[in-house]
Chain A
Amino acid sequence: MRSDFPILKKVAYLDNAATTQKPIQVIEAVKEFYTDSCANIHRGVYSLSEEATNKYEDARKKVAGFIKAEDDEVIFTKGTTESLNLLSYCLYPMIKGDEIVLTELEHHANIVPWQQMAKRHNLRIKYIKLKDDFTLDYEDAKSKITVKTAIVSFAHVSNAIGTINDVKMLCNLAKQNNAISIVDAAQSALCYPIDVKALGCDFLAFSGHKMFAPTGIGVLYGKVELLNKMPPFNTGGDMIKHVSFEDAEFQGSPLRFEAGTPNIAGAIGLGVAVDYISSHSHDICENCGGLRKYCIDSLNKLGDINLYCPENGASIISFNIGKAHPHDVASLLNDHDVCVRAGHHCAMPLMGKLGVPGTVRVSLACYNNKEDIDRLIEGLKHVKEIFK
């Protein structure tokens, strides 16, 4: 598998939560679209346009299959951020209560849109607490998700500390209270098989670029009966049935939410990425778990490490080393061709709660290996020498 990602010859790439590298299969598919079948979709009557449309709609089918949804429940967006923003603008007519429940470990993309929605419609936001062991306090969830709750939106996996949340339970709590449930699957779509029906969520969002696909393409899944009742987000071409000078009639899902020319090449790339993940699913699960343990054990052996991650988390490991500031650590690791993220990981409220300005974050993908971790540890030894 590693040979499918040529860039890995150059660096120990340990920033997969930010974005993953792309396999040659995806890169080739994008290139092939632009070389052999580039045309706009859903309009031309010539063969080339038909071919482009088929490829785009095939990608939708693949993604739908990947998350066990129906084809018309998969909307292509720019990414998780846009998917969540779409919901924050379009959900108001669908809600009953006046409280939005989030968790303390959310990415800014799952906080700020709701703050804005709350301001527009005079709603309140509540946050489910994080416990000292870096997992959610489900007792607190039970007390905060009530009949007053309109929306419950939360990450499947935390991008900052790797906590894996109990999606089924939270969706079930939402359902019992007639609230809408939304899962931010940005960090889980690659590693955790997703079955939207089994999870019981109303909506689910993820980004292609964090799962081997190009940047600028993502997905919003929604139950079709909800999607077809929601007002549109962007309006314009492609999303209409009929337009007069006075008014317009809209398409149903998914076109209703795909105004304008979409990222056709990106969607095709995502379709190929999904195939790639499905055909390597065994390696994907096997490798990450073992490597996480190896990484944490190696860090503990090194000493002077403060870990910020739960006992059983995803392959996202946040830590600080001695007195060194995360940015200095990342700069020095770069000398060793080790790519890690340093900072607040777009989770400032969480960092405030942990009482740190930021952390160093190592995030693994299935193509990483022990040598990558060994290089990290070598680099950290160097950091320790400098900041002794």
Chain B
Amino acid sequence: MSAEDMYRENILELYNEPLNFGELGDATHKHHEYNPLCGDDITMQVIIEDDIVKDVKFNGKGCAISIAAASLVTDSVKGKKVEDVLSMKSSDVIELLGIEIASVRLKCALIGLEALQKAIRRE
């Protein structure tokens, strides 16, 4: 596959204008995840009430793939049960992205989900 296939219009739009990007002052759960290999740096903030994800935002710096993936993941979990979010897998993220991810870039795609799940588990 060529890398170009990853950079679809929707991915680039999310990179330029990410969804759920910013601060949640009253977050109940928070986690900062850093990938020392590429410098992707994502902080997830979540509000959980009655085992439901009420709201979620993220901020940080990263490549187009990581920012687009974090946007889509945060958008998809609002209102979801915590246990369902915890059982999300890499295949779910790739499905949300709708593109093939080169194996060397898989970590970028997954950093958002990883940060979110760690925030919920308070790791």
Binding site for B on A (CB under 8 A): 323-328, 331-332, 334-335, 342-344, 348, 351, 357-358, 382, 386-387
Contact = CB atoms under 8 A, between A and B. Distances in A.
Contacts of A358: 38-39
A325 B108 CA distance: 12
B63 A325 contact: yes
Interface centre among B2, B3, B16, B64 (most CB of A within 10 A): B3
Interface residues of B, number: 22
A328 B39 CA distance: 12
Interface in B42-84: 61-65
A327 B37 CA distance: 10
B7 A357 contact: no
Q: Which are the 7 A-B pairs with shortest beta-carbon distances?
A: A325-B63, A357-B39, A331-B3, A327-B63, A358-B39, A335-B2, A328-B63
A327 B61 CA distance: 12
B7 A332 contact: yes
A342 B3 contact: no
A382 B2 CA distance: 13
B4 A335 contact: yes
Contacts of B65: 327-328
17 contacts: A327-B38, A327-B40, A327-B65, A328-B63, A331-B3, A331-B6, A331-B102, A332-B4, A332-B7, A335-B2, A342-B38, A344-B39, A348-B36, A357-B40, A357-B41, A387-B12, A387-B64
Contacts of B7: 328, 332, 386
A382 B4 CA distance: 9
Nearest to A344: B39
A324 B64 CA distance: 8
Given A327-B38, A328-B7, A332-B7, 8 more contacts: A327-B63, A327-B65, A327-B105, A343-B37, A343-B38, A348-B36, A357-B40, A386-B4
